[in-house]
Structure 1
Amino acid sequence: MAVALILLLVAVASVLFHLYSPWWWTPIASNWSYIDHTINLTFWITGAVFCAVIAFMAYCVLRFHHTEGRRAHYNPENKKLEWWLSIGTAIGVVAMLAPGLVVWHQFVTVPADATDVEVVGQQWMWSYRLPGKDGRLGTSDARLISSDNPLGLNPNDPNGQDDIVVQNEDLHLPVGKPVKVLLRSIDVLHDFYVPEFRAKMDMIPGSVTYYWLTPTRTGTFDVLCAELCGAAHAQMRSKVVVEEEKEYHAWLERQHTFAALSGQRNVAKAAYKTDSE
């Protein structure tokens, strides 16, 4: 009897802890409320199954506890029970997976009017690149990475000369405008994650992954790396500032283009060479 009660108390306490827990998601700041709904659906399905299993265990403890002289009935196979378990499990799995597949399709189907924003991860900092006045990002190549060109941008691509390069600073985005986030790593696995956006994806060296989002409210949000990437993983921080379009364009005007940064590096390099001689 005591064991059965303890099992039921564990189930009830688990449900209450979930419902009244102070640890929950931060207020959402993007269009991906679908992800919240999908996670909630998973919680309810797995929670119902958990409670049902615990209740069944408690029933078995009460109904089939040891009694002197009672012998267990040997039943090695039960086709009816196996069918019910198989069908019930299949329905539960489909109920959890189907909404996720729908949301994933939306997650990677980028609107035609989305603006490209590249996020580059490296141990242990974030860099960003935005298209210039031509509205197009230039190409890049890992073989071009050097101290003078830390992001490996193609200096011979005319589309990249006016690209806005942001290093060791915050990324700014306009509110209410869709953004295609291009993810690139130049050393190890990273994961660009802004909790309020509910969007994240691994950054794999040698490839470009992507997703899209629309910021829905202004504010400053922390950027985290959600993939263990080395000794300073926890310090790999940045911020995304979502602001009105007027403030966003004012910030954009203050940023440096790839051509301007390349010119500054060449001047500094020439000055260093002259001083050395």
Structure 2
Amino acid sequence: MIVAASLVLIVLFSVGFHLFSPWWWTPIASNWGYIDTTLVITFWITGAVFVAVVLFMAWCVFRYRHKPGRVAHYEPESRKLEIWLTALTALGVAAMLAPGLVVWKRFITVPDDATEIEVVAQQWYWSYRLPGADGRLGSSGTEWIDFDNPLGINPHDRFGADDVVIDSGDLHLPLGQPVRVNLRSVDVLHDFYVPEFRAKMDMVPGMVTYFWFTPTRTGEFEVLCAELCGVGHGVMRGYVSIDEPEDFDSWLGEQVTFAGLPAGGAVRVAETAEESDP
């Protein structure tokens, strides 16, 4: 009786803690409410299975408790039970996977009007690159990374001259504008994560990964690294500010472009040569 009652109490405490816990996710600030929906579906399915299994165990403990003279029935297998359990398990797994596949399709399908930006991670801070007046990011690569060019922007690519460079600073984005976030790492694995955006992706050295989102409310949101990246992992933080469009334009006009950095000299020389070439 004590064991059976303890199992029932575990179920009641677990369900109550889930419903009244103060540790719910932060209020959403992007278009990815779909991700919250898939989490809720997963909670309902796994929670129902948890409650059913633990209550069944409690019933078994109570129903088949020891009594003098009772002999256990030996039944090594049951084909009917195996079929039912397999079918129910398959149905539950499919119910959890299907919404995720739909959301993943949306997650990797970037709108045509999305603005492209770049996030560069290294131990243990974030840097950013935004397109300038031409609305296009220049190419980049690890071979061009040095003290004067921390993001590895191609100094021979004229499209990179007006790129806005935020080296170890905070990122600003305009409200309501879809954004494609290209992700690069220059050393080890990192993961760019803003809890309020519900969107995150690993950053793998030698690869460019991406995700997209649309900011839906203004404010300042903390950036976290969600991949263990060394002894400074816990302090690898920053902020993303979502501004009204006019405030964003004002902030953007105050930032330094790649052409204004020492490494941007090659771009200026190339542009001057093109202008003087008849």
Using the size of structure 2 for normalisation, the TM-score is: 0.93
Matched, 1:21 2:56: no
Taking structure 1 as reference, are residues 93 and 263 closer, same or farther at Cα in structure 2, changes over 3 Å only? closer
Q: Distance in 1 between matches of 2:265 and 2:239?
A: 26
Partner of 1:272: none
Quote the offset at 1:2 in angstroms.
1.5
Quote the offset at 1:265 in angstroms.
8.8
Tell me how large the CA RMSD over aligned residues is. 1.3
Partner of 1:270: none
Alignment of 1:189-228 (within 5 A): 189-228=189-228
Quote the offset at 1:73 in angstroms.
1.1
Taking structure 1 as reference, are residues 225 and 61 closer, same or farther at Cα in structure 2, changes over 3 Å only? same
Partner of 1:140: 140
Partner of 1:2: 2
- What is the one-letter code of the residue matched to 2:207? S
- What is the one-letter code of the residue matched to 1:59? W
Q: Distance in 2 between matches of 1:15 and 1:263?
A: 58
Q: Secondary structure at the match of 2:261?
A: helix
Q: Distance in 1 between matches of 2:23 and 2:34?
A: 20
Q: Distance in 2 between matches of 1:124 and 1:58?
A: 50
Quote the offset at 1:264 in angstroms.
8.3
Partner of 2:244: 244
Q: Secondary structure at the match of 2:177?
A: coil
Q: Distance in 2 between matches of 1:127 and 1:217?
A: 23
Q: Is the 8 A contact 2:150 2:167 kept in 1?
A: no
Q: Secondary structure at the match of 2:73?
A: coil
Q: Distance in 1 between matches of 2:44 and 2:12?
A: 14
Residues matched between the structures, number: 266
Deviations 1:140-189 (A, max 9, x none): 11111111211111100111111110112110000011000111000000
Q: Is the 8 A contact 2:120 2:151 kept in 1?
A: yes
Q: Is the 8 A contact 1:175 1:244 kept in 2?
A: yes
Alignment of 1:58-137 (within 5 A): 58-137=58-137
Q: Which runs of 5+ in 2 are unaligned?
A: 267-278
- What is the one-letter code of the residue matched to 2:136? R
Partner of 1:234: 234
Q: Distance in 1 between matches of 2:263 and 2:65?
A: 82
Q: Secondary structure at the match of 1:101?
A: helix
Quote the offset at 1:263 in angstroms.
6.1
Q: Is the 8 A contact 2:258 2:264 kept in 1?
A: no
Deviations 1:224-265 (A, max 9, x none): 111111111111111000010000001110011111112689
Q: Which runs of 5+ in 1 are unaligned?
A: 267-277
Q: Secondary structure at the match of 1:183?
A: strand
Percentage of pairs with the same residue: 64
Partner of 1:166: 166
- What is the one-letter code of the residue matched to 1:218? T
Partner of 1:275: none
